[in-house]
């Protein structure tokens, strides 16, 4: 499953379902697809996601069991969504996902 996050002030962001659902939980939202965050709630969702991803950076690093593939942390995977939420908060736009 793929989940696409959209807002009128930024390009669409598509993530794998498991990563997107984890990000939604970090934002304090139900992992229900489709869904939306009202513009008034976007700054709080951004704050929660940023705090959770910063805590993830501090935690113990994941070891790579398969040397051929690099480990991509949740903090790195979340950067596009952070940028989308930042643009939505700045412009006062809703964020939706499907």
Domain count of the fold of the chain: 1
Domain limits at 50?
A: 2-56+71-97
Average pLDDT, the chain: 90
Q: Tell me if 72 sits within 8 A of 53, measured CB to CB.
A: no
Residue for token pair 């939706």:
96
Residue 35 covered by a domain = yes
Residue 62 covered by a domain = no
Residue 64 covered by a domain = no
pLDDT digits (tens, 9 = 90+) for 36-59: 999 999 999 999 999 999 988 776
Residue 85 covered by a domain = yes
Q: What is the pLDDT of residue 71?
A: 76
User: Above 90 in pLDDT, residue 27?
Assistant: yes
pLDDT digits (tens, 9 = 90+) for 54-96: 988 776 555 656 667 777 888 889 999 999 999 999 999 999 9
Q: Which pair of tokens denotes residue 51?
A: 């705090």
User: Above 70 in pLDDT, residue 31?
Assistant: yes
Residue 61 covered by a domain = no
Q: What is the pLDDT of residue 66?
A: 61
């Amino acid at each position: 499953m793929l989940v696409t996050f959209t807002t009128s002030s930024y390009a669409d962001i598509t993530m794998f379902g498991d990563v997107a659902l984890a990000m939604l939980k970090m934002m304090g939202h139900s992992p229900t697809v489709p869904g939306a965050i009202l513009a008034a709630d976007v700054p709080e969702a951004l704050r929660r996601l940023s705090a959770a991803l910063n805590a993830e950076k501090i935690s113990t690093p994941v070891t790579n069991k398969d040397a051929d593939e690099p480990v991509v942390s949740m903090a790195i995977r979340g950067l596009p969504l952070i940028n989308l939420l930042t643009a939505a908060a700045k412009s006062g736009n809703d964020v939706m996902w499907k």
